[in-house]
Amino acid sequence: MSAPANLPPKEELLNRAEEILKQLEGGPWPSHVSELRKTRYPLHVYGVGLVARKSPWGPAAVKVEFLNTGVLSRWARDWVPGGGSEVHFRVFHTPGKFLRTDFLRKITKISRELGVGLIELVGQTGALVLNLTPETAEAMVDALREIGTDVGGSGDAIRALNACVGPALCEFALYDTLKWYAEFYKDKRVNDNIVTPSYPYKFKVKFSGCPLDCARAQRGDIGFIGVWEGAPEVDQELLGKKIEAGEVDPEKLAANCPSGAITWDKEKKELRIDGTRCKKSMHCIRAAFPAIKPGKKRKVAVVVGGGSKGRFGPKLGWFIGYLEPDQVKDAIDLTFKVIGPWEAEAQPKYRLGDYIMHLGLDKFIEKAGIKLEGMPVSTAKMPDEVPYAVLPKEVRERFLSFAQQLKGRV
Ligand code: SF4
């Protein structure tokens, strides 16, 4: 990239960069610049970028022996005085982001001695990222492996897994997300595919203990979400007390149920929930817990094809059926069944969801050989008269009616 227009001479540029950095240290709030000054991060590059109002970084590649993925690197562009580089690893993190203090101490020691003294916990998944220098990269990987972790989870591979805190901290957890996370990590196939990129694009696996979906499993290529069968359980006596105390408004509860499953009998002072209509939104449970709780018969709903990036834009996953909370081994097998046809046939940079849209959900399920309890039965057939249709008929009709409603409103 050519140098931005009107850049001052080198010395003045560096002085102005320093001025901006100092401004960012002012004020009563914590300053990321002050924190970065404690490390060996090339802060002047950041400052120059702020003066130029352009990213000062260009792409680069750093090869670390015996490492196929997980290393990301950038070099300062040639208009940045003094140059500089920024290289970082993604390190395997722990389920629910529980980090033991002894583990953190070891990581900090490695970062200080072999890296630049900077650890980041970033992104939606809370990924553990360590900055390093290319010269010490190999020694750093060895040190990380010695303390029982590894580098991986970037590129076109299975990405670092993500699980909510689940039963360790949360009263809503409907299955053991932490155990599922650990079992997935322990599986050799999963591990191999985290450290070796061989897929058309990235593949994310996420575990959420309930439909509140803190791990955003709906946006994973495969997501596992704790649910229950039928209606939530209502403790009428406790609910009555909450209503008397003014903590719960039963009419509001019924009005806010997204599927209209709740009815409030004023005479009998009884709240009823129709399990066949309940869409597991968690709204009533959150508002009246523990008087309203998830039902006792627990399941794990499986969704596939979600993602915020991809050829056809952001998508929420499609529900494809249920597993039991103890079926984690089947969940691992299912994950590789889902990956199979996508890996074999999808074009480069097609997320699983893009591939499913291209093929149609019914055909994808058939190709992957998936058989699950509660699978959605689709009568939709791809009509011959619509060439290149990527969506089943019923889905296209839903989009069409939505577009017509919008047109009407405009
Ligand atoms: S997803 Fe549900 S179970 Fe998991 S932390 Fe969030 S509220 Fe709790």
Residues 6+ apart with CB under 8 A from 327: 300
405 part of a folded domain = no
Which residue, by CA, sits nearest to atom 4 of ligand 1?
Answer: 209
For the record, the structure tokens of 21 come out as: 């950095």
Dist. CA 334–CA 372, nearest whole Å = 10
Sort 281 into a burial class: Cβ within 10 Å, 0-12 / 13-18 / 19+.
middle
Chain position carrying tokens 């792409």: 59
Q: Number of folded domains in the chain?
A: 3
**C-alpha of residue 280 to centroid of ligand 1, in Å:** 13
39 and 80 fall within a common domain: yes
Long-range contact pairs involving 94-102 (C-beta distance under 8 Å, separation at least 24):
95/161, 95/163, 95/166, 95/177, 95/178, 95/181, 95/182, 95/185, 96/163, 96/164, 96/165, 96/166, 96/168, 96/169, 96/177, 96/178, 96/181, 97/121, 97/126, 97/165, 98/165, 98/168, 98/178, 99/128
Nearest-CA residue for ligand 1 atom 2 is 210
Q: Residue 130: phi, psi to the nearest 5?
A: -115, 130
Q: What is the pLDDT confidence band of residue 135, given thresholds at 50, 70 and 90?
A: confident
CA angle 264, 268, 274 (to 5 degrees): 40
User: Given this model, what pLDDT does residue 384 score?
Assistant: 47
Same domain, 220 and 255: no
Listed range (5-9, 104-108, 140-144) with the worst mean pLDDT = 5-9
Cα of 395 from ligand 1 centre, angstroms: 30
Ligand 1 centroid to 346 CA: how many Å? 33
Q: Tell me, yes or no, whether 127 and 20 share the same domain.
A: yes
Mean pLDDT of the chain: 90
Structural element, H or E, at residue 296:
none
Is residue 386 in some structural domain?
Answer: no
Regarding whether 14 and 98 lie in a shared domain, the answer is: yes
CA 211–ligand 1 middle distance (angstroms): 8
Q: Are residues 285 and 317 in the same domain?
A: no
The residues near 322 (Cβ < 8 Å, ≥ 6 apart) are: 227, 299, 300, 301, 302, 372, 373, 374
pLDDT for 179 = 96
Ligand 1, atom nearest to 165 Cα: 5
* Strand ranges, E, within 160-239: 162-163, 205-208, 222-228, 233-234
Structure tokens that stand for 313 in this block: 């834009």
Strands 222-228 and 205-208 turn out to be: parallel
- Res. 231: pLDDT tops 80: yes
Quick one: what percent of the chain has pLDDT higher than 90? Answer: 68
- 255: tokens are 């009005």
Length of the chain: 410
CA of 223 to the centre of ligand 1 (A): 14
Ligand 1 pocket test, candidate residues 162, 169, 212, most atoms within 8 A of CB? 212
CA-based angle 327:333:338, to the nearest 5? 120
Residue with the two structure tokens 């003014």: 246
CA pair distance 28, 197, nearest whole angstrom = 44
Residue ranges lining ligand 1, Cβ < 6 Å: 164-166, 170, 172-173, 208-210, 212-214
Is residue 389 one of the residues assigned to a domain?
A: no
Look at residue 410 and tell me if it is in a domain: no
Same structural domain, 259 and 182: no
Same domain, 63 and 117: yes
- Same domain for 223 and 137, yes or no, is no
Instruction: Tell me the pLDDT tens digit for each residue of 348-407.
Output: 999 999 999 988 888 899 999 999 988 876 544 544 445 445 566 777 788 889 999 999
Spell out the long-range contacts of 312-317 with Cβ–Cβ below 8 A and sequence spacing 24 or more. 312/353, 312/354, 312/357, 314/219, 315/219, 315/353, 315/357, 316/218, 316/219, 317/217, 317/218, 317/219, 317/220, 317/221, 317/222, 317/223, 317/353
Does residue 401 lie within any of the structural domains?
no
How far does the centroid of ligand 1 lie from the alpha carbon of residue 356, in Å?
28
User: Mapping DSSP to helix (H, G, I), strand (E, B) and coil, where does residue 60 land?
Assistant: strand
Contact partners, residue 410, CB within 8 Å, separation at least 6 = none
- Look up residue 210 and give its two tokens: 């309930």
Q: Are residues 109 and 35 in the same domain?
A: yes
Based on the fold, state whether residues 56 and 167 are members of the same structural domain: no
Task: Let me know whether 365 and 216 are in one domain.
Answer: yes
Q: Show the domain range for 63.
A: 10-146
Quick one: 74 and 180 in the same domain?
no
In the prediction, which pLDDT does 160 show?
Answer: 86
- Give the mean pLDDT of 240-269: 93
The CATH number covering residue 56 comes to 3.30.70.2500
Q: For 173-207, write each residue's pLDDT tens digit.
A: 999 999 999 999 999 999 999 988 889 999 999 99
